[in-house]
């Protein structure tokens, strides 16, 4: 729950989520995979190829900087998992079995599920099941809605590469303890020390 929601605006903000050290190894494995994303998500696709995603699946550093004052880091991490799980599924769905990016993406998804498993294990269930702040709950409900019921105006077209760019940058930002002193972190306005 955010400080603002409690009405205790004069108290120091709640501490931001600390990334459990056990997540760093699997996150770094994902980082290694992502370092090949240009080849697998751009060069292997037709020029300007896009896939249809939910508008809330566009989740970038700018979203984090807008939300960071209202929303705890742990909540943003939960949202990160929810969003990127959907994105990986959507990318895999357009790839035929023998497409040269298929096994790369399947492997990335496996690694993603591994780190999600560690994330779930390293927090008490009651923490992960805590009610989400209202705005985030709305986003969550939209993301998990039956795709047939999503109105046209909520769809966006995005290239697989741009989606994985967002995936990568937001990962560095939200789990910054695992990625000390990387360049991306300097763009990350989600500065836990200052919030
Ligand atoms: C790809 O998109 C760019 C920018 O919109 C455009 O200039 C270019 O002509 C497009 N290329 C093709 C092959 O459609
Ligand atoms: C991120 O911001 C864009 C607008 O810049 C918005 O369309 C998108 O829904 C936001 N994503 C999330 C997860 O809130």
Measured from the alpha carbon of residue 83, the closest ligand is 2
Does ligand 2 have an atom closer than 6 angstroms to the CB of 55? Answer: yes
Would you place residue 111 in the very low, low, confident or very high pLDDT band (cuts 50, 70, 90)?
very high
Atom of ligand 2 nearest to the CA of 56: 9
- Give 128-159 pLDDT, tens digit per residue: 999 999 999 999 999 999 999 999 999 999 99
Q: How many angstroms is it from 46 CA to the middle of ligand 1?
A: 11
CATH topology for 21-188?
A: Growth Hormone; Chain: A; (1.20.1250)
Q: Starting from the CA of residue 47, give the closest ligand.
A: 1
Residue 70, number of CB atoms within 10 A of its CB: 15
Q: Which two tokens stand for residue 85?
A: 């799980």
User: How far is Cα 96 from Cα 10, in angstroms, rounded to an integer?
Assistant: 55
Ligand 2 centroid – CA 97 distance (Å): 31
pLDDT digits (tens, 9 = 90+) for 70-110: 899 999 999 999 999 999 999 999 999 999 999 999 999 99
Query: Long-range pairs for 150-155 at CB < 8 Å and ≥24 separation?
Result: 150/54, 154/54, 154/55, 154/56, 155/52, 155/53, 155/54, 155/55
């Amino acid at each position: 729950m955010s400080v603002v929601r409690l009405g205790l605006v004069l108290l120091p903000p709640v501490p931001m989520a600390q990334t459990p050290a056990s997540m760093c190894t699997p996150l770094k494995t994902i980082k290694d995979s992502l370092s090949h994303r240009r080849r697998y998500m751009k060069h292997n696709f037709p020029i300007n190829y896009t896939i249809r995603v939910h508008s809330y699946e566009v989740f970038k550093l700018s979203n984090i900087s807008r939300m960071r004052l209202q929303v705890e880091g742990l909540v943003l991490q939960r949202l990160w998992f929810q969003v990127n799980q959907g994105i990986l599924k959507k990318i895999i769905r357009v790839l035929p079995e023998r497409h040269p990016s298929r096994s790369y993406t399947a492997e990335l998804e496996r690694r993603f599920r591994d780190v999600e498993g560690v994330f779930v294990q390293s927090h008490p269930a009651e923490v992960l099941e805590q009610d989400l702040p209202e705005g985030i709950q709305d986003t969550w409900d939209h993301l998990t809605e039956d795709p047939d019921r999503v109105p046209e105006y909520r769809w966006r077209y995005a290239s697989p590469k741009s989606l994985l760019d967002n995936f990568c940058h937001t990962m560095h930002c939200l789990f910054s303890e695992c990625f000390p002193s990387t360049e991306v972190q300097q763009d990350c306005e989600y500065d836990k020390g200052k919030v």
